[in-house]
Structure 1
Amino acid sequence: MAKFSKSNAPQFSVDVYQNEFLPEGGREVNAIVTVTSTGGGAVAAPQFYAAGRGADAAVALMVDCSGSMDYPPTKMRNARDATAAAIDTLRDGVHFAVIGGTHVAKEVFPGGGRLAVADAQTRDQAKQALRKLSAGGGTAIGTWLRLADRLLSAAEVSMRHGILLTDGRNEHESPEDLKAALDACAGRFTCDARGVGTDWEVKEVTGIASAMLGSADIVADPAGLAADFTRMMETAMGKEVADVALRLWTPLGAEIKFVKQVAPTVEELTDRRVEVGPRAGDYPTGSWGDESRDYHVCVQVPNAELGQEMLAGRVSLVVPGADGGIQNLAQGLVRAVWTDDMTASTSINPQVAHYTGQAELAQVIQQGLDARKAGDADGATAKLGRAVQLAAASGNADTAKLLSKVVDVVDAAEGTVRLKAKVAEADEMTLETRSTKTVRVKK
């Protein structure tokens, strides 16, 4: 696990948005917790890294080399070019490896169970090795992840990151084998996953990214891979603090209903809690660069008398300290105040209302697409209509645009839609893959 040292590190802040007022008998407290990290990350100039920062990282690139990557042949060529572009984006001093993935995982570069250290020479050697990649064989993604874990764990670094590209379904190992691999690798490195073309399984790719605290996306046209890989690697190179956890302490008698990330994507964290002491638990958030994320925390507190006030929760950002202990980066407080003022106790905080809608938006898109696949036209129309309504109300223009490729919008405000008779597979998969992307509250 990475150790955190204060020198030249990004600064974290925690802001809590809530309506702390509860009516008589009220017990549910909702808060949006905004965590912001500044003073590090991708905005740094290259010379900033040359001084030794930014090299404290290891990256494994996992490239699908299964037989389907040859249909059409441009897919394999684009995958090689994209991997080369990502290698060019590596900072000097970063440890890295390239893995070729089929029904088995093979070390493409540098080989011998090692990682290379990025410089002009090793980048060139890695790109030469990529030219030998050819398509043939099956797909067993769990084996790719386990090899990446073995290679990455050998490096004495704090940041460990994977980039995984696949074009097909994980047909050469059982879902149980993939889940076992994800369970074994989760928390050891983060991983971004990409599906290229339209022959892969969305829930498989998004499930990998979710388990590994990374991003997932579709690259429907293989020609877009190089630009996407470059962006992914730039983001990875901008991460500077690993193993950050959201620590939530609650008072005696309180019960946590849920904890979820709600921006920039919806990610359920409730079941990932690790107990760390009396009434306190950690929720993993992965690695951070210059960025801001929002979390929705819902706590059920014990009942209290009118006029009483209590601390409903303390939210802290923590990392492993250099001395083996824990370092607290920032904290915020969630409060509960009981009042007989109906206006105060019934008003919903705008942040809470917005993200409750965004979480519902992600859910109804998934339900609508599942209903559509199952041939339930009425169910699909109702759910996707509600999605259109929520996207319009919250100003989520990107999701609204994706929805308009799957349904004909009659009245967005009312959520009246008609299912399109023909939908391009890439459009449906893009909507499903990006369904959890949210927009932030308009200030």
Structure 2
Amino acid sequence: MGDQPTFTLHIDQNKYLSMDGREVHAILTIGSTGEAAPEAPAEAAEVIIVDTSGSMSGSKIRDARTAAAAAVETLRDGVHFAVIAGTSVAKVVYPHGTGMVRASRATRAEAQQAISRLSPRGGTSMGAWLDLAGQLLSAHPNAVRHALLMTDGQNNEREEVFSGVLRAWSGRFVCDSLGIGHDWAPAQLRMVSEALLGTFEFVRNQHELAEFFRRITRTAMAKTVPDLSLRVWVPQTATLKFLKQVSPTLLDLTGKRAEVNPLTGDYPTGAWGREEREYHLCVEVPPGQIGQEIRAGWVKLVRPDTGDVLASGNVLAQWTDDLALSTRINDKVVHYTGQAELHQLIQDGLSDRAAGNVEAATARLAKARQLAVESGREDTARLLDKVVEIDPVQGTARLVRNVDKADELELDTGSVRTSRLRKAEGS
């Protein structure tokens, strides 16, 4: 196989609890050199899903064709791939026949020819698109499996059909999605992101779609290790309250537990390349005695199919009557708790605004703006300024009346991205 990537796991926490302290918080920083040997690149499988529903007319379908062709061009030789056109049904437009085909100069050219003939018609059934992608990718169980989905509209399927597909394929491949135009629903792509461990983004300038496709495909091609899991053990008397990815984006993994044994669960993290991610673990423990130290959690990064451990670390808890020790909150825990709160405030504030709950929306979005400024999220603060106005003298807030739909979509989709803790803060 050549060189194997090296993984590190670093745990940031304050282990000290007061006598009635129950919750143990820790930030897990996992890094990977992620480099496969040049002579043996990772096996990979890629499905490109293009919305070709009736609303994709005119410049939209032209830009989508250009973007899908750019993604195909970015595939490295030997990668299995397929292109799906998505309407009320899902159809493989390349390759012809069943299954996927390996990328080569010839197959890339054939795929681009097929893409050039895409035309808009019909409805939008994202569950059907993803189900077909899952079937194609499942034929390559040892590959880094990835799909790229682009849409301009809202899903027409019944909610239970869509959520059923997402449940069926959850954690089995990664899907990154893109929304273009103003008629798609961020909540739907967020569901895809949460189930399939990917990102979702708003392409504000449609002519940039090809660059988004190129970047996402390039990132997928750089993954070298498929399907790793965080294996978390907690003591019999303890409860794992949550496990969330907090950087580079927010993803709640808590509900994705696959039981290893009654005390241990595996939580999928998807494929890895050269990168660093951070996770927030919270464990509830029963009260202890002064001076008593326990292992509140044992975390391992594993290959779930073989159980090979790539990195591991301990989360500790120790009870103390020293107030200075027990009240100190770890800087990283504070930072990412604030980032999660910022995301929730934006989501709830936008929901309140859409429902006409002006007072609640104003309060939440104003607080979000304050948090964005405090945590150095100038980009988010600027977007919040477009939906809520703060009087610089009085400090009072009011909603902006006519908000550009693109500004709202950008704020909504951007809220899942987090900022890293600045070095000066953590030192």
Question: Quick one: distance in 2 between partners of 1:66 and 1:277?
Answer: 46
Contact 2:34 2:272 in 1 (8 A): no
TM alignment of 1:379-418, pairs within 5 A: 379-410=360-391, 416-418=396-398
**Shift, 1:296, TM fit:** 0.8
Q: Distance in 1 between matches of 2:54 and 2:288?
A: 64
SS at match of 1:77: helix
CA distance in structure 2 between the partners assigned to 1:251 and 1:426 by the alignment:
48
Structure 2 letter corresponding to 1:79: A
In 1, Cα distance between equivalents of 2:318 and 2:256: 29
> For 1:68, what is the secondary structure of its paired residue?
coil
Q: 1:53 aligns with which of 38, 41, 47?
A: 41
Moved over 6 A (4+): none
Aligned-partner Cα distance in 1 for 2:94–2:195: 26
Deviation at 1:156, TM superposition (A): 5.7
Q: Distance in 2 between matches of 1:347 and 1:40?
A: 38
**Cα deviation 1:13-66 (Å, max 9, x = unaligned):** 11111111111121211111111111427xxxxxx64x2313x00100010000
Please name the residue that 1:366 is paired with.
347
1:411 to partner: Cα distance = 5.0
Secondary structure of the residue that 1:134 maps to in structure 2? coil
Partner of 1:355: 336
Is 1:151 the counterpart of 2:136 in the alignment?
A: yes
- Contact (CA 8 Å) 1:91, 1:237: kept in 2 or not? yes
Q: State the partner residue of 2:113.
A: 128
Deviations 1:80-138 (A, max 9, x none): 00001111110110010000000011111112112121111111111111111000111
Task: Measure the CA separation in 2 of the matches of 1:363 and 1:23.
Answer: 29
Q: Tell me, yes or no, if the aligned pair for 1:388 and 1:415 is still in contact at 8 Å.
A: no
Q: Deviations over 1:178-202 (max 9, x none)?
A: 1111112222211111111111111
Aligned-pair RMSD on alpha carbons? 1.6
2:403 matched to which residue of 1? Answer: 423
Q: Distance in 2 between matches of 1:362 and 1:38?
A: 30
1:437 aligns to what? Answer: 417
- The answer to whether the 8 Å contact 2:229/2:268 transfers is yes
* 393 and 52 in structure 1: CA distance in 2 versus 1, 3 angstrom threshold: same
**1:234-245 paired onto structure 2 within 5 Å:** 234-245=218-229
Match of residue 313 from structure 1: 297
The offset of 1:315, in angstroms, is: 0.9
Q: Give, as a single letter, the amino acid of the residue that structure 2 aligns with 1:62.
A: I
SS at match of 1:67: coil
**Separation in 1 of the partners of 2:232 and 2:391?**
44
Shifted more, 140-149 versus 156-165: the winner is 156-165
User: Offset at 1:377?
Assistant: 1.2
Pair 1:80–1:415, CA change in 2 (3 A): farther
User: Residues of 1 paired with 2:317 and 2:193: CA distance?
Assistant: 35
1:105 aligns with: 90
Check conservation: 1:262, 1:438, Cα contact below 8 A.
yes
Aligned to 1:161: 146
Report what 1:45 is aligned to: none
**What secondary structure, in the 3-state scheme, does the structure 2 residue paired with 1:135 have?**
coil
> For 1:24 and 1:200, how far apart are their aligned partners in 2?
50
> Structure 2 CA distance, aligned partners of 1:114 and 1:437?
35
**Partner residue of 1:338 out of 309, 319, 343:** 319
Of the candidates 71, 85, 89, which is equivalent to residue 74 of structure 2? Answer: 89
Q: Establish whether residue 213 from structure 1 lines up as the match of residue 234 from structure 2.
A: no
Alignment match of 1:22 (pick from 17, 23, 38): 17
1:33 to 28, 43, 48: 28
State the one-letter code of the partner of 1:130: I
Contact 1:245–1:286 at 8 Å: present in 2 too?
yes
Per-residue CA deviations over 1:348-402 (Å, capped at 9, x if unaligned) read 1111111111110000000100011011111111000110111111112222222
Per the normalisation by structure 1, the TM-score is 0.92
Distance 1:270 1:98 in 2: 32
Helix, strand or coil for the counterpart of 2:308? strand
**Equivalent-residue separation in structure 1 for 2:16 and 2:364 (angstroms):** 33
Q: Secondary structure at the match of 1:69?
A: coil
Does structure 2 retain, via aligned residues, the 8 Å contact 1:30–1:298? yes
* In structure 2, distance between residues paired with 1:244 and 1:416: 48
Of 59, 67, 70, 1:74 maps to: 59
SS at match of 1:441: coil
Q: Equivalent residue of 2:235, what SS?
A: coil
Q: How many residues align?
A: 423
Alpha-carbon spacing, 1:157–1:416, altered in 2? closer, same or farther (3 Å): farther
Q: 2:176 is paired with a residue of what secondary structure? A: strand
Quick one: distance in 1 between partners of 2:390 and 2:162?
Answer: 39
CA distance in 1, matches of 2:392, 2:41: 52
CA contact (8 A) 2:229 2:304 kept: no
Identity %: 49
Give the AA of the match of 1:135.
Answer: P
Give 1:44's aligned residue. Answer: none
Instruction: Specify the code of the residue in structure 2 equivalent to 1:430.
Output: E
**Is the 2:389–2:398 contact (alpha carbons within 8 Å) kept by the matching residues of 1?**
yes
In the alignment, what sits opposite 2:99? 114
1:346–1:38 Cα change, 3 Å: same
Q: Distance in 2 between matches of 1:259 and 1:184?
A: 21
